[in-house]
Amino acid sequence: MKVLSRSFYLHENVAHTAKKLLGKVLITNIQGKKTSGIIVETEAYSYKERGCHAFKGKMTERNKIMFGKGGFAYVYLCYGVHQLFNVVTNKQNKPEAVLIRALQPLEGTEWMTQRMQTDSLTRITSGPGKLTKALGIDRTLNGKDLITSEVCIREGVKVNNKQIVTATRIGIDYAGPDAKLLWRFYIKDNNWISRT
DNA sequence: TAGAGGATTGAT
DNA sequence: TCAATCCTCTAC
């Protein structure tokens, strides 16, 4: 399977890219432990709306990686507890990103269960904070190139448009009217979707 | 430089 | 429903 090219990430419509990422495979190779999973749930974020860290194009020390070109990892700490993994999209100075919210485990499941301290695969990657832990993703991967580094995304399974469910994003009530944007995408009836 | 709050999760 | 937990951002 082929690693996604730079051009995939440069599309100017982040919601379009978020939808296209469904079915793709996220791979990490951390300390010799290769793990991967099929992306089954995503959310889009754009500088044009309040839910985004780079709203109105405001650059800070934390979000500056979003201002570069697409195809790089944006990892940050949420609630002081969880690391969240995003894919930077669009061209330089068009800060947009796709949050990966859930995966279907594929390879290296033994490492995932070990990292999660459980024997069961059930719901082990069904949430943005959980999948990063299962795949060994942390903030040291912030800014990594998704084409050449130890974290990358490759072609996966085909997802029919009819299988994709569109919904409002989770946890951004503070964004006012922008919280109503239908920018959350997930694969219908998939067992690994995060909480409803 | 201090204070508030967050793109979550799991236990109560 | 609520606490954990700490980094980031904002205001002073």
- Residues A75-126: tens digit of each pLDDT: 999 999 999 999 999 999 999 999 999 999 999 999 999 999 998 898 999 9
A165 CB neighbours strand B below 7 A = no
pLDDT in tens, A5-48: 999 999 999 999 999 999 999 999 999 999 999 999 999 999 99
Residues A105, A111: Cα–Cα separation, whole Å: 11
Map residue A147 onto helix, strand or coil.
coil
User: Which pTM does this prediction carry?
Assistant: 0.96
Q: Which among A26, A86, A93 has a CA at the least distance from the CA of A51?
A: A86
A49 CB neighbours strand B below 7 A = no
Å between A43 CA and B1 C1'? 35
Token pair listed for A76: 């940050």
Triad A111, A35, A82: Cα angle to 5°: 75
Residues A99, A87: Cα–Cα separation, whole Å: 6
Which domains are delineated in chain A?
6-187 (3.10.300.10)
Q: Which helix (H) or strand (E) holds A101?
A: strand A96-107
A186 CB neighbours strand B below 7 A = no
What is the pLDDT at residue A194?
A: 93
